Amino acid sequence: MSRPDYLNSKPAESRVDSVVLEQPQNSAITADGRKVLRNTYMLLSMTLLFSAAVAGVSMAMNLPHPGFILTLVGYFGLLFAVHKTKDSAMGILSVFALTGFMGYTLGPILSMYASIPGGSGIIMNALGTTGLIFFGMSGWVLSTGKDLSGWGKTLMVGIITAFVLSLGAFFFEIPALGLAVSALFVILMSGLIAYETSNILHGGETNYIMATVSLYVSLYNLFVSLLQIFGVLGSDE
């Protein structure tokens, strides 16, 4: 006598199928994506060290800050150079030129905070928090394999909005607005770190030079925003 159909079924195969279906997020991560991420992290670490060295020299020489307008001109000019040379060896030089310039602009900012009571603690707290956020957001994406491509438009709109608000805070000298913009930038840059990491892993960004610039700018803005927030909180104590 033949057995009922449910006894003739193959539960082992069903279980295997269910396991495969439960892992759609990691399936899109390619070996090329991981290679781009490794190259990005390597170049990012070198540019961060170079930028920190330039900032240190800027502090030691007590160089003046170039100002808001000149900083924007220098940043966007060098960013354009990076974009034009991203597929050649000159792209590496352009990246170091950009990150070196940003390190120079950071030196006077650090000197200002170092000169106030408790300034060294503010700098270390901002630096430590920046590191925690970077490793936390990157680690979250790396461990889960999440595809965050849907975040792109939201982050872009948020960054443009925050940039416009920062211009208003600067030209109209509104400290409260400046502090709010800093808090907004902390949220946006944290999201951008996760988004860019996911974008690399899933093949959305295949050029490690541009990926390095994106992560560097996120870290720079995150650190400067945290400096302002901790500076205000420290002054209230």
Which pair of structure tokens corresponds to residue 87? 């597929």
**Pick from 168, 165, 54: nearest CA to 105:** 54
Q: Please state, in angstroms and rounded to a whole number, the distance separating the CA atoms of residues 121 and 231.
A: 10
Q: Please state, in angstroms and rounded to a whole number, the distance separating the CA atoms of residues 119 and 227.
A: 10
Element (DSSP H or E) covering residue 28: none
Amino acid type, 188: L
In three-state secondary structure terms, 13 is: helix
pLDDT at 31: 81
In three-state secondary structure terms, 230 is: helix
pLDDT in tens, the chain (237 residues): 444 444 444 444 444 343 333 334 444 677 888 999 999 999 999 999 999 999 999 999 999 999 988 999 999 999 999 999 999 999 999 999 999 999 999 999 999 999 999 999 999 999 999 999 999 999 999 999 999 999 999 999 999 999 999 989 888 888 899 999 999 999 999 999 999 999 999 989 999 999 999 999 999 999 999 999 999 887 654
In three-state secondary structure terms, 105 is: helix
SS3 content of the chain, % helix, strand, coil (to 5): 85, 0, 15
Q: Please state, in angstroms and rounded to a whole number, the distance separating the CA atoms of residues 138 and 198.
A: 8
pLDDT at 19: 36
Which pair of structure tokens corresponds to residue 75? 């940043």
- For 105-129, b where at least 16 C-beta lie within 10 A, e where not — what string? bbbbbbbebeeeeebeebbebbeeb
pLDDT at 6: 40
Q: Which residue has the tokens 């000197």?
A: 111
pLDDT at 62: 94
